[in-house]
Amino acid sequence: MASSTFLSVLTEDGLKEFPEEVSRRQLHSKTFCDPDVPGRFVMRANVDGLPRHYMVTGLSARGDWLNVDLSNPDDIRAPYLLTRLANKIGYVYQPRESDSPAITVELLGYPLAAKVLHGDSRAGGQVYYADVDTDLDIYTQPTPYRYGIFKVLKSPDAPRTLRFQVSWSKAPLKATHAGGEIQADALVKAISDGISDLRELHFDRCYMPARRAWDTEGKTVEVKVSIQGNIITEEVVIPEGFAAWPVAVDTDVTYYAGTNDNAGYTDEATYAAAHDAATAPLWGVANADFPVEQQYDEGTYGVQRAFIPFDASGLPDDAIISAATMGLYGRYDYSYYDFDITIVSFAGSNPMIAGDFDQFGTTDLGHLTTAGFSVAGYNVITLNAAGIAAISKTAVTKFGLRSAEDIAASSPAGLEIEIGRASCRERV
């Protein structure tokens, strides 16, 4: 079978080849087309737990996947398209979904060094830019959900301020800063005038996260970020008498929930039947809004539990995860009563199936009260020690979300419903 790194082919009984429509590739799926009938797609194949499209053999005994991964830093193929800038320290990043924005980022003041080190053994696709500065290391590393420029300030003589030129094919939708949020209708002027204390810049299907820094003891170091026009400035604020070098900047990793996130729900005449069910219908739309709830309404009891997968396998095997948070982007709050949203383990399938409703754990891996639940921003749950220990560096981490009242089997007296989306951030 003829093949290349960037083209996978499905064979039908060894007689006919169906090439992949690469532009339609998504996180957990590939689409194959019939070249003899334009526009006819013969199948859409889901890959369980393989967000980086590593090789899988014996696809229904009718074909196999070819290896497409993150290991070549010049030709990244993942849920995003990536092009490293020639003779510059920077890249063009674009989510693979159709009509998604392309974001270009270039570090200013540091032309590409003559020596670029490929193939670091600690992580696929990691690139070190050699001899950028005696006291400054710069490297890039792809993960399944993000690509970025990371900096290590090695001594007091390291530069404290870095400037980046940015551009985008579609305008950002929102910016968050110390004073709150700036929505799209006011954002163009705000960026032109300048935004200080910038936290995050949100686009359609992706965002530029806040910069963070830690010293060698794992303590947070302040980073001030501003944007004016197409220039983002990062300033690392080193306090007087500081001695805990080196300082690592922006080495946190942000993951969105994979496309298999989903939720199961019950609707029964008794609370015991709703709570103890082993099988339940699914919410139905993966990678969409999901509810966490218990409810009693007009003689009917309902329980909803959410499955949230994250793939942190892009982390090096020797990485030490010192902290982790899960952000739930709130969409609706229908609750009559406040309750705790609790992160738990999930022992079911990926993707979740109807028979997995009793596969949600009961151990609290981190929780958040719904009092003050935001329906226009992230509600952050800090994972506890058990939650951090549950994060896998080699496979998909399968988390669940439950109401604490559900865990306690406490029958609801009314509606307890929160609906949102999830992302996960880890500090390593």
Reading the block at residue 353, the tokens are: 């199936």
Q: According to the model, what pLDDT value does residue 137 have?
A: 81
3-state SS assignment for residue 385: helix
Question: Same domain for 98 and 204?
Answer: yes
Q: Are residues 41 and 114 in the same domain?
A: no
For residue 193, which phi and psi values (nearest 5 degrees)? Answer: -75, -30
Q: Give domain status of residue 74, yes or no.
A: no
Q: What is the pLDDT of residue 210?
A: 75
Same-domain check for residues 193 and 299: no
Our count of domains for the chain comes to 3
pLDDT at 87: 78
7-13 LR contacts (CB < 8 Å, sep 24+): 7/66, 8/65, 8/66, 8/68, 9/63, 9/66, 10/42, 10/43, 10/45, 10/59, 10/62, 10/63, 11/62, 11/63, 12/42, 12/62, 12/63, 13/62
Per-residue pLDDT tens digits of the chain, which is 428 residues long: 222 233 455 555 445 666 766 665 554 455 666 666 555 554 444 444 333 332 222 233 233 333 334 455 555 555 566 677 777 888 888 776 667 888 898 889 876 654 444 433 334 456 667 667 778 888 776 654 556 678 888 889 999 999 999 999 999 999 989 888 999 999 999 999 999 999 888 887 677 877 878 777 667 889 999 999 999 999 999 998 898 888 888 755 555 565 678 889 999 999 999 999 999 998 765 445 678 889 888 889 999 999 988 877 666 666 678 778 888 878 778 788 889 999 999 999 988 899 999 999 999 999 999 888 887 777 889 899 999 999 988 788 999 999 999 999 999 887 777 666 565 555 54
Range of the domain at 112: 80-250
Residues 18, 31 contacting (CB under 8 angstroms): no
- The pTM of this model reads 0.53
Residue 377, in any domain of the structure: yes
Query: Which of 250, 284, 313 corresponds to the end of one domain?
Result: 250
Pair (272, 177) in one structural domain: no
> Side chain identity at 48, as an amino acid letter?
D
Q: Check residue 160 and give its pLDDT.
A: 93
Whether 86 and 229 map to the same domain: the answer is: yes
Residues 144, 194 share a domain? yes
- What does the DSSP 8-state code read for residue 272? H
Same domain, 382 and 287: yes
117 & 233 share domain: yes
- Are residues 381 and 412 part of one domain? yes
Cα-based distances in Å from 98 to 6, 47, 417: 18, 20, 32
Asked whether residue 261 falls in the same domain as residue 401, the answer is yes
Residue 32 domain-assigned?
yes
Do 373 and 286 sit in the same domain of this protein? yes
Q: For residue 182, what are its two tokens?
A: 């700036």
pLDDT at 140: 72
CA angle 145, 327, 54 (to 5 degrees): 25
- What pLDDT, on a 0 to 100 scale, did the predictor assign at position 286? 47
pLDDT at 390 (0 to 100): 94
> Residue 404 falls within a domain, yes or no?
yes
Residue 183 has a pLDDT of 92
Is 66 inside any structural domain?
no
Residue 53 placed within a domain: yes
Q: Is residue 217 part of a domain?
A: yes
Are 233 and 322 part of one and the same domain?
no
pLDDT reported for residue 231:
96
Residue 29 in domain: yes
Of 230, 250, 270, which marks where a domain is finished?
A: 250
Give the pLDDT confidence score for residue 342 in this predicted structure: 96
pLDDT of residue 118: 44
**pLDDT score, position 30:** 59
Return the structure tokens found at 107.
């570090």
